[in-house]
């Protein structure tokens, strides 16, 4: 009998796999996945760019590329995304990745050893929590208030645990939708420098703001090179392209380049070309206006019907952007058990809160709801089905 590595024994993709299964049934109204709306994809524009690429640069986009990424895309990212966000960086600080997920993998590869301590928001993105298990590190949860990480708790945990890394999603956090204020971002950058802590700033949702003022990334306030910013084109253009970007110190990117060479040699050149042209043709601003309007309507629809249909005493976030609403049901309930009945009996799905916590018991009453992937009409019907689920299966 073959035996798997200890590394693989530490992880389970069950939670993610179950989420994907729930979204596969067309009869289920799924608030479970973090998918963009199908209507948001600029299909005709992407097709035009691809056709032009094949006609004019066919051999180039079909050939091997350099591991750091296509210069055309790195320059476009620098000019259209990094500099406008206040980052004082050059093309040498930018690397293309196969989705933002690979950026997180690369950071783990070059920094984490078994037994290292990583600080994480509580709750935090479940896939990254599982990834940390693969690296045999100890995750320490950080307390959050309505604005995200509490600095006092962060300072205390740094003092007690001497962490190697802090993982944070500071803008429209997954799963809560919370956004960290600028003053806390500045303080995190200062603490990272003072205590030699790597900050892994995961920012896939920052451009999906529907109200309020823009807030600069933590990376803007980084004076010592301790902050690694990870971006993605998945939520703003297409997840199927699998293109992301890292902004980091040159020495860090050098190590990541070596790690990426072992992983996939380079990110798909054609997909990189599509993203570069999308930026260089200045298509992103108008596209963002369009999808922000689409998602804002859906978010407000969900919030409005939650007010009508959810049990009294339910607490839920009211984010300024992103893709998620985080709800805490009143009383003693188990959302993992409710999910089974939701899908089987009511044909509606959400993500239970437990997988987002280091201690799953902390998430018993919570659920994550995605609003981007369904029409307002389906959102209303889905909220009604959840109301029926709650009223018939639990006393609040």
Which one-letter DSSP state was computed for residue 221?
G
- Partners of 227 in the beta sheet? 199
Residue segments in the chain with a per-residue pLDDT below the cut of 50: none
147 near 179, Cβ under 8 Å? Answer: yes
pLDDT tens track for 259-279: 999 999 999 999 999 999 999
What pLDDT sits at residue 394?
Answer: 65
Report d(CA 202, CA 246) in Å as an integer.
10
Whole-angstrom distance, CA of residue 332 vs CA of residue 329: 8
Residue 371's pLDDT is 97
Alpha carbons 192 and 189: distance in angstroms, whole number: 5
Question: What pLDDT sits at residue 4?
Answer: 79
Q: Rounded distance, CA 311 to CA 313, Å?
A: 6
Supply 347's token pair.
Answer: 């044909």
- Of all residues in the chain, the percent with pLDDT exceeding 70 is 95
What pTM does this model have? 0.95
pLDDT tens digits for range 2-11? 777 877 766 6
Query: According to the model, what pLDDT value does residue 5 have?
Result: 80
Q: Measure the CA–CA gap between 155 and 141, rounded to whole angstroms.
A: 13
Tokens read off for 207: 């451009």
Neighbours of 294 (CB within 10 A): 17
What is the Cα–Cα distance from 363 to 357, expressed in whole angstroms?
Answer: 6
CATH numbers and ranges of domains, the chain: 7-41+286-393 (3.90.1150.10), 63-282 (3.40.640.10)
Nearest to 248 by CA among 90, 132, 44: 90
pLDDT of residue 23: 60
3-state secondary structure string, 320-342? Answer: CECCEEEEECCCCCCHHHHHHHH
């Amino acid at each position: 009998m073959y035996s798997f590595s200890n590394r693989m024994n530490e992880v389970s993709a069950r939670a993610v796999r179950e989420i994907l299964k729930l979204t596969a049934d067309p009869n289920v109204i799924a608030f479970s996945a973090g998918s963009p709306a199908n209507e948001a994809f600029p299909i005709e524009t992407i097709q035009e760019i691809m056709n032009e690429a094949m006609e004019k640069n066919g051999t180039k986009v079909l050939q091997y590329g350099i591991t750091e990424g296509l210069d055309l895309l790195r320059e476009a990212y620098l000019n259209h995304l990094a500099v406008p966000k206040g980052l004082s960086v050059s093309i040498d600080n930018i690397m293309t990745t196969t989705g933002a997920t690979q950026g997180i993998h690369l950071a783990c590869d070059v920094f984490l050893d078994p037994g290292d301590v990583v600080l994480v928001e509580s709750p935090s993105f479940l896939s990254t929590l599982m990834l940390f298990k693969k690296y045999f590190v100890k995750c320490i949860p950080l307390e959050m208030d309505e604005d995200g990480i509490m600095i006092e708790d962060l300072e205390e945990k740094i003092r007690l645990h001497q962490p190697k890394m802090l993982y944070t999603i500071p803008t429209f956090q997954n799963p809560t939708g919370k956004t960290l204020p600028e003053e806390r971002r500045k303080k995190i950058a200062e603490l990272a420098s003072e205590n030699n802590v790597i900050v892994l700033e995961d920012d896939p949702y920052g451009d999906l703001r529907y109200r309020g003022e823009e807030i600069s990334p933590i990376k803007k306030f980084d004076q010592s090179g301790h902050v690694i910013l990870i971006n993605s084109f998945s939520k703003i253009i297409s997840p199927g392209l699998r293109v992301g970007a890292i902004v980091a110190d040159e020495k860090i990117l050098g190590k990541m380049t070596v790690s990426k060479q072992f992983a996939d040699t380079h990110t798909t050149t054609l997909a990189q070309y599509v993203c570069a042209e999308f930026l260089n043709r200045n298509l992103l601003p108008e596209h963002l206006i369009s999808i922000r309007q689409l998602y804002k309507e859906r978010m407000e629809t969900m919030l409005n019907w939650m007010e009508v249909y959810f049990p009294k005493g339910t607490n839920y976030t009211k984010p300024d952007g992103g893709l998620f609403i985080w709800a805490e049901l009143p009383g003693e309930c188990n959302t993992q058990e409710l999910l089974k009945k939701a899908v089987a009996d009511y044909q509606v799905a959400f993500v239970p809160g437990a997988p987002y916590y280091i201690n799953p018991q902390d998430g018993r009453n919570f659920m994550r709801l995605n609003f981007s992937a369904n029409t307002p009409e389906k959102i209303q019907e889905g909220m009604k089905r959840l109301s029926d689920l709650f009223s018939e299966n639990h006393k609040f």
